[in-house]
Structure 1
Amino acid sequence: MYSRKNQRDLTRTEKKRLVTAILELKRTGRYDEFVTMHREFYVTDADRRPRAAHMTPSFFPWHRRYLLEFEKALQEVDSGVSVPYWDWTRDNTPAASLWAEDFLGGNGRRGDRQVMTGAFAYREGNWSIRAAITDDPFLRRDFGRPSAPVTLPSAADVDRALADPVYDTDPWNSVTPTGFRNRIEGWGIRGVRGVTNHNRVHRWVGGSMAGAASPDDPVFWLHHAYVDLLWDRWQRAHPGSGYLPARPPAAGDPQRGRVFALDDPMPPWDVKPSQLLDHSGLYRYV
């Protein structure tokens, strides 16, 4: 059993150990394997393929397992490291501690949005983008997207999602208007709401975080640790509500074979959502 801490509570030593472990995964090529996996499983509604990771009920369990695999890789480098979480409802400015030079580095510079500070700056020689999404080899950020401004989600945005007692509902995709899953995943739905929560954070950071290769920015892991924590809070708030769909969609349903029910094994690990509902034997949030 280990703990995942709020990033603002990390000591200087804890920050350094985490950064060092991430850089070691990058050096060996393992980090880029995680980026490639996320790109592979970023399947949209328009694709007639199974969707395990996004725009789907299994958004939470898939990313929980994904974080666990990444955390395991980190701990093979340094057994005392875990993924901290970034509460973007509180630490919601470019001056927040996670953007310090001794941790994740800051915003991208004007023009090409290249990150120039911290260990993940390209000019430091340890972090180059290899995912073939862009010709730029450097990490990019565009906090708040000044060309079309966006703000980070508020505590009220999160509270509205946590108050929904239903996990997910038909049509089980990006246009599902209610349910905790899509309120947190945050797809904008015309006439219902704009982009919010998880998706709006990706947009606010911008640059490398704004596409399918978003793990190219190490803040991805802190962001998704907080999303995982929100799932935990929702489960505690609604103990009588469970993962949906409990059974695969009926024959003839356009989502049959495309979404993962409670006991459907999810790729690439062949693990069921039902096996990922409880993390209490592995880690705790503090």
Structure 2
Amino acid sequence: MHTRKNQRNLSRSEKRRLVDALLALKRSGRYDEFVRMHGEYYVPDAEKGPRAAHMTPSFFPWHRRFLLEFERALQQVDPGVSVPYWDWTTDNTPASSLWAEDFLGGNGRTGDRQVMTGPFAYSKGNWKINARVTEGKFLTRNFGRPSDPVSLPTKGDVAKALRESAYDAAPWDSTATTGFRNAIEGWSAGGPARWRNHNRVHRWVGGLMLGATSPNDPVFWLHHAFMDLLWIRWQQAHPRSGYLPRTRLAASDPQAGRVFALDEPMPPWNVRPSALLDHSRLYRYA
């Protein structure tokens, strides 16, 4: 049993050990395997085939297993390391502790958005971007997107999503207008609130966090640890509301064969959402 801490509560030593483990995983080539996996399973509504990771009910269990696999890889480097979480409702400025020189580094520079500070700066020689959908070998960020400003979600935004009593709803994709899953994942039809919660955070960080290969930025893992914690908080607030859909969709449903019901195995691990509903035997949050 290990503990995932709020990143702001990490000691200097804990930060250094996590950074060292991330760099070791990068050197071994395993880090880029996780980036490629996320890119492979980022299947939008408009594409054909099964949709396990995004715009789908299995968004939470899929990423829980993905994060666990990554955390186990880190722990093979240093058994004392775990993935911390970033509560972006509180640590919501470029001056927040996670962007420090000794941790994740800061914003990208004007022009090419290249991150020049911290251990993941390309100029330090340790973080070459290999798995990508765009050109460029360096980590990029564009905090707040100054040309078209976007802010981080607020405590109120999260509270509103947590009040959703159903886990998910038809049509089980990015257009679902009710349900906790899409309220937190954050897809909507348009307007000023087009990107909400999870999606809005990716937009705020910008750079490589925008695409299917967003794990190229190490902040991805801290962001998704917080997503995982919010799922736990929703479960605690709605103990009678379980994962949906509970059973395989009818063949006549447009989403049949595309989304994963409670007991349908998800790729690439062949694990069912039902096996990932309870985190308590694996880790805890502080």
TM-score class, shorter-chain normalisation, is over 0.9
**CA offset digits 1:32-53 (Å, max 9, x no partner):** 0000000000001011210000
Query: Where does 1:172-211 land on structure 2 (aligned, <5 Å)?
Result: 172-190=172-190, 193-211=193-211
Measured in 2, the distance between the counterparts of 1:105 and 1:193 equals 28
| Shift, 1:188, TM fit | 2.1
Alpha-carbon distance in structure 2 between the residues aligned to 1:241 and 1:192:
30
1:106 is matched with which residue?
A: 106
AA aligned to 1:271 is V
- CA separation in 1, counterparts of 2:107 and 2:188? 26
Partner Cα distance (2:191, 2:169) in 1: 18
Letter in 1 for 2:228: D
TM-score by length of 2: 0.99
- Root-mean-square deviation (CA, aligned residues, Å) is 1.0
Equivalent position amino acid for 2:66 in 1: Y
Letter in 1 for 2:158: V
| 1:79 equivalent in structure 2 | 79
Q: Structure 1: how far apart are the matches of 2:253 and 2:278?
A: 29
State the TM-score, normalizing by the size of structure 1.
0.99
Residue 18 of structure 2 corresponds to residue 22 of structure 1 = no
Is 1:268 matched with 2:268? Answer: yes
Q: 1:109-188, aligned counterparts within 5 Å?
A: 109-188=109-188
Higher mean C-alpha displacement, 192-201 vs 162-171: 192-201
Specify the alignment match of 2:45 in structure 1: 45
8 Å CA contact 2:132–2:213 kept in 1: the answer is no
> In structure 1, how many angstroms separate the alpha carbons of the residues matched to 2:190 and 2:72?
40
Equivalent residue letter for 1:14: E
User: Is the 8 Å Cα contact of residues 34 and 215 (structure 2) preserved in structure 1?
Assistant: yes
Distance 2:148 2:264 in 1: 40
Shift in alpha-carbon separation, 1:250–1:230, aligned structure 2, 3 A = same
Cα distance change on mapping 1:192 and 1:101 into 2, 3 Å:
closer
| Corresponding residue of 1:258 | 258
Q: Is the 8 A contact 2:177 2:188 kept in 1?
A: no
Deviations 1:86-125 (A, max 9, x none): 0000000000000000000000000000000000000000
Query: In the TM superposition, what whole-angstrom CA distance separates every residue of 1:185-240 from its partner, at most 9, and x where no partner exists?
Result: 00122479521000000000000101000000000000000000000000000000
- Give the whole-Å Cα distance in 2 for the aligned partners of 1:228 and 1:200: 16
2-structure distance, mates of 1:22, 1:188: 34
Pair 1:90-2:95 in alignment: no
Q: Which amino acid aligns with 1:45?
A: D
Contact residue 177 and residue 189 of structure 1 kept, 8 A = no
Look up the equivalent residue of 1:269 and give its one-letter code.
W
Distance 2:111 2:193 in 1: 31
Deviations along 1:248-281, one digit per CA (max 9) or x if unpaired, are 1112101000000000000000000000000000
Structure 1: gaps spanning 5 or more residues: none
Instruction: Output the amino acid matched with 1:72.
Output: R
CA offset digits 1:163-184 (Å, max 9, x no partner): 0110000000000001000000
Q: Is the 8 A contact 2:44 2:51 kept in 1?
A: yes
CA distance in 2 between counterparts of 1:236 and 1:176 reads 23
Please tell me the residue identity of whatever aligns with 2:267.
Answer: P
Q: Is the 8 A contact 1:43 1:54 kept in 2?
A: yes
Q: CA deviation at 1:28?
A: 0.4
Aligned to 1:8: 8
CA distance in 2 between counterparts of 1:161 and 1:25 reads: 35
Aligned residue for 1:223? Answer: 223
Whole-angstrom CA distance in 2 between matches of 1:20 and 1:273 = 32
